[in-house]
Structure 1
């Protein structure tokens, strides 16, 4: 009987923690939802660096890679940005530690730092090896800086 109540309590505590976490980041979720909606429907990309400069960023290809994983296109996801798998693993580790084991998650910061360093190093490699090439390692000429330069030049 005690075990059943402890599982019930654990499940209730977990859902309360998830709801509290989502509530605490509700503004971030709203801003991101608005940004991505505007980007997907009105702009040619959701990447701020591409929008402004035309150059890809270290995270370019991650959104498309995530959607590729959801469609079961695992090799396509790897081709777009292999770090999507590290991000999924880190997010999974975070969720397991926080919501299943109810343990601290600050120990994952070192893995996040390693992930970011790895992404930057891989970005440098891709820029040297593949830029300009096929998406996501392509240059977008219709970026904001080019638009502004054309507008100033025509005045």
Structure 2
């Protein structure tokens, strides 16, 4: 019989990864705090151009999905379920099984291509009238152009 994975082993793997990526995590937290304080947004594309990005609405979509609001989730982004499944798969393989996650870049690449295609479709069909596909006038480019 194969022994069960010890929780201490899983915790050790997680701590190792957190320590390895600590500077990236710290920079991301600082970026998040600064952009929300100054621009009231997180996405660099929205901050600079005012245009929605292919991932706009993804955080809310995942939240709605996790709270059982499937219709609202799907309306914002039909890709949230795939990112959740990818995350669960990654955590299981990387931390529970302790193996390298093979094929993750291919899956992420396919998911990003699908999101880009859906983004183009939404830009032609619902932009700028339906959230999250709206234009934000308080962007950097628009503010710079008003100075002249």
TM-score, normalisation: structure 2: 0.89
Q: CA deviation at 1:95?
A: 0.8
User: What is the aligned partner in structure 1 of residue 37 from structure 2?
Assistant: 41
Aligned pairs for 1:1-150 (under 5 A) are 6-7=3-4, 10-150=6-146
**CA deviation map 1:119-153 (0-9, x unaligned):** 111111111111111221011112100100111x1
**CA deviation map 1:20-78 (0-9, x unaligned):** 01111111211121222233333232111011011111111112223333444332222
Which has the larger share of helix?
1
Structure 1 runs (4+) deviating above 6 angstroms are none
Instruction: Quickly say closer, same or farther: Cα 1:68–1:39, change in 2 above 3 A.
Output: farther
Gapped regions of structure 2 (runs ≥ 5): none
The DSSP-based 3-state class of the residue aligned with 2:103 is helix
Cα RMSD after superposing both structures: 1.9
Gapped regions of structure 1 (runs ≥ 5): none
TM-score, normalisation: structure 1: 0.85
The farther-off stretch of 70-79 and 52-61 is 70-79
